Homo-oligomer: A and B are copies of this chain.
Amino acid sequence: MTGTLPHDRGVADRKPRGAVPLGLLTDLYQLTMGAAYVQSGISETRASFELFVRRLPRARSYLVTAGLEQGLEYLSELRFRGPEISFLRRHPLFRHAPAAFFERLRALRFTGDVWAMPEGTIAFADEPLLRIEAPLIEAQLVETFVLSMINFQTTVASKAARIVQAAAGRPVIEFGTRRAHTAYAGLYGARAAFIGGCAGTSNVAAGYAFGIPILGTFAHSFVQAFPTESAAFQAFWATFRERTTLLIDTYDPLQGTERAARLPRPIAAVRLDSGDFHVVTRHMRQILDQHGRPEIRIMATGDLNEYRIEDLSRLKAPIDSYGVGTELITSQDAPALGGVYKLVEIERAGRAVGTAKFSLEKLSYPGRKQVYRRLEVARQRFHSDLIARVGEAAPRDPRFRLLPLLRPVMRQGLPLRPAEDVRHAQRRSAQQLDQLPARYKRLVEAARYPVAHSPRLRELLQQVREDEGDVGADGEQ
């Protein structure tokens, strides 16, 4: 083995590090920008940032929004404490930074306004999911945490919706914490999976913190810990009785099913974690029925995703519920959402000015926006969305109900409503998915839902583009 271990330090060095300081859970450039904003006197200028996704991940036609509650919690709780400020002050990078910057951090509370789509909203590319209007330094600082939380939870909620749809009415349970990007991601991912339509999770903390139904059976190691499989089954049954679910494939799934069928009735379910689910579950169902055990349901787990589950649904495999781990909690085929957070408006000489960046590959629209959904009145189906300027009257049409998607959720740093029950968000996504036409719900070929920009927004874009041409030239070349 190369490298040496520092045996010279005392074991007492391994002290609990306590909670991670919320203020430092950010990119350093938010703080360097903050210092330069203070230095140049614009840190308190009113600024508006919008969070949106330029392009949907592969095979996705829609997003299910999630993560807002944790974003708002962060805004409410954000503080910089003494040790954190000392850490920054001592950093060589901040050697020339003004003392006023560190004072500003010490006093910092988030005092801005937030508009957002409620969690569980079906959303599309280019639509702002959230807008923060605040003093520039505050709106800038909070980017990293808010973005990572909403990016991640929206990724998982969107993946969950696909899997739940493939399961065609059978419950899907989120089982992925061990493969999550830490157990903390497991906790928030379980929450997002529930919003996307999962019936529950194996993550106990998610049950404790969010009231999400928790489910659990046992592992192969449980069976191995007993001298025989029967002894293991007996022990589990003695502890859980009618709520017993047995993993039956440690040795042989059909023998395991036989053993389960001989336990006192009722028990809840048997779980298969390997093999050809379609073939084996048919044999399992037969065995259970032969023993007169129709109450015992069959759960399938192990390397499942929306495509495999859709196959099993089509083949009418006698599976009553699914447990999905890795593929769901990491959104394995598309593990990152390209959500961005862009300055869209800033006060300059007492006037709000739209801003945007205009590189060819990354066009974005300036100005504060509202998203209107057009719902066909006759069929209660989504027709199209319109992105317009805030305050702009959206065109009326009697065929459509016009629903503004962004709502005020925080004013002057104070939440406008209590934290929403995660069940509300789950119901919202289910109702909206019902209203989304089928072509956008295909699992394989993404379809482009119509999202238009209003004429006034396009005018603003044109105007800002002309102004920025001058800005880019800087009047000095």
Contacts and interface: CB of A to CB of B under 8 A. Distances in A.
Closest 8 pairs (CB-CB, A-B): A28-B216, A251-B472, A3-B428, A13-B418, A29-B216, A181-B181, A335-B335, A221-B343
Interface string A73-106: 1001100000010011001110111100000000
A454 interface: no
A26 B136 contact: no
A238 B39 contact: yes
Contacts of A21: 205, 208
A216 to B, nearest CB: 3
Contact of A435 (B2, B76, B91, B335): B2
5 contacts: A1-B121, A21-B208, A35-B240, A148-B177, A148-B186
A131 to B, nearest CB: 14
Contacts of A275: 359
A73 to B, nearest CB: 7
B216 A14 contact: no
A151 interface: yes
Interface stretch (A225-233, A289-297, A309-317): A225-233
Contacts of A203: 25-28
A263 interface: no
A136 B14 CA distance: 25
A5 to B, nearest CB: 6
Interface string A200-237: 00111101110000111111111011111111000110
Contact of A11 (B250, B418, B424): B418
A323 B12 CA distance: 36
B187 A185 contact: no
A286 interface: no
A432 B1 CA distance: 9
Given A14-B418, A29-B216, A184-B184, A136 B225 contact: yes
A287 to B, nearest CB: 14
Nearest to A70: B182
